[in-house]
Amino acid sequence: MTAAPAASAAAPADVPCAPLHSASADYRAGDTVSHHGRNWSAKWWTRGENPGAGSAWSDRGACTGGVSDFVVSEQRFDEIFPDRDPFYTYQGLIDALHAYPRFANVGTPQTRAREAAAFLTHADFESVGLKYVKEINEANYWRKCDDTRPFGCPAGREAYYGRGPIMFSWNFNYKAAGDALGLDLLNDPWLVERDPSVAWATALWYWNTQNGPGTMTSHDAMVGGAGFGETIRSLNGALECDGGNPGSVAARVERYERITGIVGVAPGSGLTC
């Protein structure tokens, strides 16, 4: 099951974060913790269930001043992307996480680490180590407008080019992601290249809610045990999988093995598609 998106990918409100959630602590009804940049209160006694991953916690909204408990630390993020464009901030990613609280937050610690590594692998591949904020081939911009859709391309035929860590593109994706995130991305697609948290949020929207040419979301592939190969299929399987471009698949797998090594988890099975 995919996560229900939050109302917005905007930066958290000015509400102090409660103490950080601990997977080994016991919590009683009413106890409040912070997790992924949001405050949560326990509905009943609970232990070992991460807020947002199940039904034991109520979301109390975004908070500030907390400590990040994302499975990939800022130090590891910097190690993965040493030459990234300054636009791609670690804090931007952390701010976007609250939109999909089940991302890298379900299953064993190894499962959570592998999902985060897989997501960052595709960001690394699609944006060349997070060096590009937008698609560089301007000659292709006009192709990303599907004017058969009833909402058309109000920002202009050339406005829906690839942006962000997975080069998010097409007018129908901007419309759907904007609706899910509470942002008018159809009329202002440039927001994805102006706001790091929005850029990361669009990538998380696709990861958690879209099958693409595959049969499952990338989130479900990693949580359900299908493995990294199925995330390739969901993102670009029509061109790469089943012998379409074995070199590209191999390059993604190589990156995934490097990043899981940095994160400190074994890659798992099902690496190719």
What does residue 265 show for φ and ψ, rounded to 5 degrees? -140, 150
Taking the C-alpha atoms of residue 214 and residue 162, their distance in angstroms, rounded to an integer, is: 20
Using an 8 Å Cβ cutoff, are 205 and 8 in contact? no
Q: What does the pLDDT average to over 71-83?
A: 96
Instruction: State residue 13's pLDDT score.
Output: 54
Sign of CA dihedral 184, 188, 189, 194: negative
Instruction: Reply yes or no on whether the pLDDT at 11 is more than 50.
Output: no
Instruction: Reply yes or no on whether the pLDDT at 103 is more than 70.
Output: yes
Residue partners of 134: CB distance under 8 A and separation at least 6: 161, 162, 163, 167, 193
Instruction: State residue 161's pLDDT score.
Output: 97
Lowest mean pLDDT across 97-106, 144-153, 261-270 = 97-106
- Cross-strand pairs, 134: 163
Lowest mean pLDDT across 20-29, 51-60, 63-72 = 63-72
Instruction: State residue 38's pLDDT score.
Output: 83
Q: 66 falls in which pLDDT band (50, 70, 90)?
A: confident
What whole-number percentage of the chain has pLDDT above 70?
95
Taking the C-alpha atoms of residue 60 and residue 249, their distance in angstroms, rounded to an integer, is: 41
- Number of CB atoms found within 10 A of residue 142's CB: 14
Q: What does the pLDDT average to over 118-143?
A: 96
Instruction: Reply yes or no on whether the pLDDT at 2 is more than 70.
Output: no
- Just list the catalytic residues: 126
Taking the C-alpha atoms of residue 233 and residue 206, their distance in angstroms, rounded to an integer, is: 13
3-class secondary structure, 80: helix
Q: 68 falls in which pLDDT band (50, 70, 90)?
A: confident
Q: Which of 64, 62, 87 is nearest to 182 (CA)?
A: 62
pLDDT (tens digit per residue) in 189-243: 999 999 999 999 999 999 999 999 999 999 999 999 999 999 999 999 999 999 9
The predicted model scores a pTM of: 0.85
Q: 162 falls in which pLDDT band (50, 70, 90)?
A: very high
DSSP 182-206: T--TTT-TTHHHH-HHHHHHHHHHH
Structure tokens at 252: 């993604």
